[in-house]
Amino acid sequence: MKYFQQEVDAAVDTLLLQQVILYPTDTVWGLGCDAEVPPAVEKLYKLKGREVGKPSIVLVADLAMLARYVAQVPTELEAALAAQTRPTTYILPASRAIAPGLVGPDGTVGLRIVHDEFCFKMVRRLGHGVVSTSANKPGQPAPAVYDEIDPALLRGADHVVNWRRDDATRVAPSRVVRLGPSGALEVVRE
C-alpha cells in the first residue's frame, strides 16, 4: 500500500507543477492535468496533438466536486449516479471554474465521478478535477493497456504513473449522458 500512495503522491506533485501525467483511468490509459489550469490544458493538448477547443473529460471525486464545475446540476443527477453500474460521463453546462479549453462550443463540459481507487485518491488529494483524455494521437485507438501507448506520449509526459502497467484488463469506454434541452438527462452513448 505504501508503493500505491507513493504513486498517488508523485502524480499529484506533477499536477501541482502544472504538468502532464500519463496514468491508468477507470476506462483506458489517459493523459491528464489539473482541470483548472489553462496552461496545463494547452500543454496536454499540444502533446496529444488535439485541436484547441475540442473538449476533454474531467474526472472528479464526488458530487460536490462535480457541482463546482457545472452551472446547473440536474435534479435527477443524484439518482442517476446512485443507479449507474459502470463509468459514466455526464455532459453538463460548464461553470467558470473549469479551464476554458475544456469547455465545448456549446458551453458544456464532460465530467465523470471516478470509482477507480487510484484516480479517486489522486483527484481527492489534488482537490481539483483532473483532465482525462485517452493517451493516443488523434485517429489512433485509445490504449486499453499500457503496452498500447504511443512511445512519443510516454516520452512527452512529465510523469508516467507506475501503477497497473501489467494489468491486461480491458474496460469499455464510459457511458455518456447529456443534459437535454428539456432539462432531463439523455443517454448519448450506451
What is the distance between the alpha carbons of residues 172 and 76, in angstroms, rounded to a whole number?
25
CATH node for 2-189 = 3.90.870.10
Quote the pTM value.
Answer: 0.95
Quick one: pLDDT at residue 181? Answer: 84
The number of angstroms, rounded, from the C-alpha of 7 to the middle of its chain's C-alpha atoms is 17
Which parts of the chain have pLDDT scores under 50? none
- For residue 127, the one-letter residue type is G
Quick one: pLDDT at residue 33? Answer: 98
In three-state form (DSSP H/G/I as H, E/B as E, the rest C), the secondary structure along 65-89 is HHHHCECCCCCCHHHHHHHCCCCEE
Q: CB count, 10 Å around CB of 79?
A: 11
